[in-house]
């Protein structure tokens, strides 16, 4: 009997984790993709969040601003608030969730430490700027 209870609890925890990742996927889907970007990785973060890495062929002097403004406008329209804003990171919060835009620059940052790869694609040859957007629980 205890084994059945244990397996039921494990199943509930696993289903809960998938539901959380699913809700973060829905959130990121609702934001869309910045113009001229290509998704190259989707990954689950160690703390249960979900991240997506993109690349764009926009020039390096335009890409960071274009990406930042695109997501900022989308998030503000959904009533998110700015938590942090500086050269490499923009972080927004709403209730118990954060969305973070990480601007990596001209080099592929690869998969974050302890992240689990869910899907990937080869970056296009004309890739000039890499960035990620992550959704997860507020710390």
What is the DSSP track for 25-36? Answer: HHHHHHH---TT
Between residues 86 and 16, the one the model is more confident about: 86
Instruction: Give residue-wise pLDDT tens across range 18-48.
Output: 447 889 999 999 999 999 999 999 999 988 8
Residue ranges of domains in the chain: 2-137
Strands 50-56 and 116-120, bridge-based pairing: unpaired
Q: Report the predicted TM-score, pTM, of the whole model to 2 decimal places.
A: 0.84
């Amino acid at each position: 009997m205890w084994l059945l209870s244990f397996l039921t609890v494990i199943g509930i925890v696993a289903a809960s984790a998938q539901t959380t990742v699913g809700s973060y996927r829905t959130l990121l889907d609702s934001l869309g993709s910045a113009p001229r970007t290509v998704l190259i990785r989707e990954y689950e973060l160690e703390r249960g969040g979900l991240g997506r890495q993109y690349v764009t062929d926009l020039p390096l002097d335009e890409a960071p601003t274009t990406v930042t403004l695109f997501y900022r406008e989308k998030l503000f329209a959904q009533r998110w608030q700015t938590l942090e804003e500086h050269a490499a990171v923009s972080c927004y919060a709403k209730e118990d969730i954060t969305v973070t835009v990480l601007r990596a620059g001209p080099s592929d940052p690869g998969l974050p430490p302890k992240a689990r790869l869910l899907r990937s694609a080869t970056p296009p040859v004309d890739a000039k700027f890499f960035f990620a957007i992550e959704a997860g629980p507020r710390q």
